[in-house]
Structures are given as structure tokens and as C-alpha cells.
Amino acid sequence: MCDGLIHQLSSSIRGLRELFFPRKCVVCKKFLAEDEWDVCAACLEGLPMTYQWDIVQNAAFERLARRFEVQDAASLFFFRTESDYRSILYGIKYGNRRQLAVRMGELLGRQMAASRMFRGCQAVVPVPLHPLRRWKRGYNQAELIARGVAQAMGLPVETKLLRRRRNTKTQTKLHGAAKTKNVQGAFAVDLRCAADLQQQGIRHILLIDDTLTTGSTLAACATPLLAANFEISCATLAYAGQ
Ligand SMILES: [Zn+2]
């Protein structure tokens, strides 16, 4: 009886809130149904998925394998600047859409869990943000995506293994070699954490970032991890042209 009342109250409060602040789909901006979150069912259905988790030597893998020794790689969907789907990434990176980051991570993780690839991954590690940028944004979007991926794959998330040694310029406005130079040497491995993980038998890390563009950020993360004897696989939400 009491539960029923609370449920009724909370759904009336939700109803009132939606009357004043109606929830809209991040992609098409149409109003969401009560059981929809962030992205409407039609837009989710139309998400331009890469299906890279079904192709061992896919474009994401090839792009990264040119830079470092990578086991498996995949992105969830194609990023095009002219597509409305870019709003998913903008929302996650700049719009405080934390729940969306976790849910998109889960969607990616479900594909990977059902795939023949990524079987060797033992822990999920997000690309770290510099503490100052994290403080300004209030969260690290890669960490939220990693939490969703890890949940779907039944793996632990390890946020202490990698840290950012220096704040870098945003990669968005840089190109090619400038991107590589900007992040080179920007990440370091916490040796104590690395030893702890390896003692537990964890040697294969799944690195997570929001977008794969040139691959320079993932390569800069992989370098100290490979030097510390880890194997690396990578996954991102979006796959962008270079
Ligand atoms: Zn929509």
C-alpha cells in the first residue's frame, strides 16, 4: 500500500517535471516516451553501427595496429560531423549527459560480450583526463563509458592504472603529427597498481575512449602499458574519419 503510494507520488512528480521540462531525444529532438531515455527508440534503431566486433581486422584495428601492438579493436558507431548522431558525443563530452555515457557504453559492451573477439580482456581502463580538466567538467566521459562496457562484459574497471602526467591541448583542433606530438609521453602507468593487477593474473587491458580519430591518444596510453608488459585491446563509442 505504502509502496503503491510512493510509486504514484513519484510518477506524478515525474509527470509534473516533464510538463515543465519535457525530455527530448538527444538526436532527433522529438519528445521521449516515458520508457525512453536520452535517445528515442527510432534513433537507437538507426544508429550507424560499425559491426567491427564481427571483423577481426577491421578499420579501427588497422588504424591502431599501424601505431602499436593491439590485440582487438572496435568502435560502436560511425561519427560524421554532418550527422545528427554527433549530438550523442557532444552530449556526453560537453553536455553533462552522464547517464547517456554509461548507457552507450553498455550498448558497446553488449556487442563485444557477444563477439568472438575481446575474449582475452581482463580489466577495463578508461583514457584518463587531466585532473584539472576532470574537475572543470565534473566527470571523465571515458570512465563513464568504461563503466557501461565493464558492466555488460562482467569485467572490473581500473581507474588507477593509467594517469595523465600533464595537461594537453584538446585534440579536436589539431591534425595528424601535431596530435601525436601533443599526447606523446602524456600518460604514465602506476607501477604499484600494475604489480597488483599482474599478481591477480590480469595482463590484458581493454582501453576505452569516446572517439577513435587518428589513434594518437590510445597509442600514447598503450606505450607505457606495453612497456609494463600488458596486452592491449581498444574500444571507443565513435569511429571518426581522420
Ligand atoms: Zn530520436
Radius of gyration of the chain (CA): 19
> Would you place residue 141 in the very low, low, confident or very high pLDDT band (cuts 50, 70, 90)?
very high
97-134 confidence digits (pLDDT tens): 999 999 999 999 999 999 999 999 999 999 999 888 88
Q: Report pLDDT for 241.
A: 84
Shared-domain flag, residues 22 and 129: no
pLDDT of residue 4: 78
β-strands 73-79, 231-240 pairing? parallel
Task: Name the phi and psi angles at 215, rounded to 5.
Answer: 90, 5
Is there a single domain that holds both residue 146 and residue 120? yes
More confident of the two residues 6 and 60: 60
Q: Residue 152: what pLDDT?
A: 98
On whether both 79 and 179 belong to a single domain, the answer is yes
Per-residue model confidence (pLDDT) at position 179: 72
* DSSP β-ladder status, 187-189 and 162-164: antiparallel
| 8 A C-beta contact, residue 86 and residue 239 | no
pLDDT at 178 over 80: no
Domain count, the chain: 2
Whether the per-residue pLDDT at 49 is higher than 90: the answer is: yes
Å from CA of 27 to ligand 1 middle: 5
Structural domain boundaries enclosing 200: 49-240
Q: How far is the CA of 200 from the centre of ligand 1 (A)?
A: 43
Query: 88 with 119, same domain?
Result: yes
Q: How far does residue 24's CA lie from ligand 1's centre (Å)?
A: 8
Lowest-pLDDT range of 1-15, 114-128, 178-192, 224-238:
1-15
pLDDT surpassing 90 at residue 227: yes
- pLDDT given at position 221: 97
Q: Please give the Cα distance from 80 to 94 (Å, whole number).
A: 17
| Per-residue pLDDT, 21 | 66
Same domain, 7 and 108: no
Same domain, yes or no: 161 and 202? yes
| Span from the CA of 37 to the centroid of ligand 1 (angstroms) | 10
CATH of the domain at 60: 3.40.50.2020
Are 36 and 126 contained in the same domain? no
Read off the pLDDT of each residue in 147-173 and give the average, rounded to a whole number. Answer: 88
Kindly state whether residues 69 and 5 are assigned to the same domain: no
**Same domain flag for 54 and 109:** yes
Distance 115 CA to ligand 1 centre (A): 27
